Amino acid sequence: MKRGHPKKGETPKVTTVYRPNLQQLTKNEEAIEEKKRKMSTFILITNKVDQKEMLDRKVLQTYKGQEAERRVFAC
Q: Is 62 exposed, middle or buried (0-12, 13-18, 19+ CB in 10 A)?
A: middle
Q: Kindly report the number of other CB atoms within 10 A of residue 15's CB atom.
A: 5
pLDDT digits (tens, 9 = 90+) for 41-58: 777 777 776 766 667 778
Residues in contact with 13: Cβ distance below 8 Å, sequence separation at least 6, in sequence order: 1
Region of 4 (left: φ > 0; alpha: ψ -120 to 50; beta: rest) is left
Residue 61 binned pLDDT confidence (cut-offs 50, 70, 90): confident
pTM of the model as a whole: 0.31
Q: Report how far residue 45's alpha carbon sits from residue 59's, in angstroms, rounded to the nearest whole number.
A: 9
Confidence of residue 5 (pLDDT cuts 50, 70, 90): confident
What confidence tier does 19 reach under pLDDT thresholds 50, 70, 90? very high
